[in-house]
Structures are given as structure tokens and as C-alpha cells.
Amino acid sequence: MNHRALHLQVCFLVLFVAGGVARAQEPRLPANIRGLSVNYKNGSLLVSFRVEGAFSPPVLEKLASASAVKFVHKIRVVRRRGLFGRTLDQKTVETTARYDNLTRQYALDRAVDGTSVESRTTDSDAEMRRFMTEVHDLPVGDRETLSGEEHILVKVRSEYEDTWLLFLFPWTYHAEGEKAVDIKP
């Protein structure tokens, strides 16, 4: 083996160990989807849930540095027939918070499928956390997309932190939950 190849292997080993040590120093519990509820009213599904454990130290540091923090909540309604399900409808809720160090307020924005639905400011940390992690009565699906369906599955995936795994691979921390629902249209 030549000297250059050995040098390259040592460099990769150092990067691998350094990346592993950096990850090992950040022990944290994964976030969870809690309180997932689905109600069928007036021909539409209303989905509510909250994400617990998403505010890790890196997320809080990013907020404190006045950088925007974005959580992406993806809700899918899936037909539960056979081995593979078919997606009947889906929604994406993006919540964004940015802390202004001068005014000591959070600017909060919420968009559903790319359309802004709510913007406000608050000086309350607790209110900002609720805004970022809770979704209440989001309409998903309608009479047309749910017609003929009786057994469906509602899946929720919340993405709350982007990072690099071993300094090489992009990685998104996320929480997932699902609930089986029987509807009678």
C-alpha cells in the first residue's frame, strides 16, 4: 500500500471517529407525536396532534441566535386495503419561528400547503412552543376523496431539526404517529 492511500485511510478514520464522538456528546430522547385525534365531521376529517420533545438544545440555540426555525408536519390519509396503502389526501403544515433579540419577541408563521394561514408575534416562550408543535382541527380529505372508504389510516410525520450525520450526510430528526379510523360517510 502506498503512502498516499494510507494517509487517505487515516483521514477518513479521524473524520469517522470525530463524527461519532460529536454525536455521542448529544444524547437526547426522540420527539413523539401525542394526542393524535381524528374526527369525521361534515364530510371531512379533522386532525389534531402535538409534538413533544422537539425543542432540543441545538434548536433552542438556533432560535437564540435569531435564525429561523421551521417545523414541517406532514399529514397523510391512506386507504388501508391489502399490503400497500394508497394515499387519498395529504397536507403539509409548516410552522416557522424567528426570535428578534431587539424586541424580545418571536415572529410566528404558519402555512398549509404553501399558503400562509396565520402570522403573529408573541413574547411568550410557551406560546411559541405551542404554535410550533400543535395542530388543531386541520381539515384533511373531503367527501369526494373519502367516498366509498370505511377503513383509513391517518399518518403524521413531523420534521423538526436538520443536521449532518458524521459531517457527511444530511439528516432530519422527526417524529411519526398514525391512527386507524373507521368512518361511516
* Span 124-171, pLDDT tens digits: 999 999 999 999 999 998 878 777 777 888 999 998 877 767 777 777
How many CB atoms lie under 10 A from the CB of residue 178?
A: 14
Rounded CA-CA distance 127/58 in Å is 19
| pLDDT for position 120 | 96
* Regions of the chain short of the pLDDT cut 50: 20-27
| pLDDT for position 110 | 98
Spatial CA neighbour of 101 closest among 132, 67, 133: 67
| pLDDT for position 75 | 96
- One DSSP character per residue, 153-168 reads EEEEEEEEEEEEETTT
Amino acid at 86: R
Q: Which H or E run contains 132? A: helix 125-133
R_g (Cα) of the chain, nearest Å: 21
How many CB atoms lie under 10 A from the CB of residue 49?
A: 23
How many CB atoms lie under 10 A from the CB of residue 133?
A: 23
* Phi, then psi, of 2 in degrees rounded to 5: -80, 170
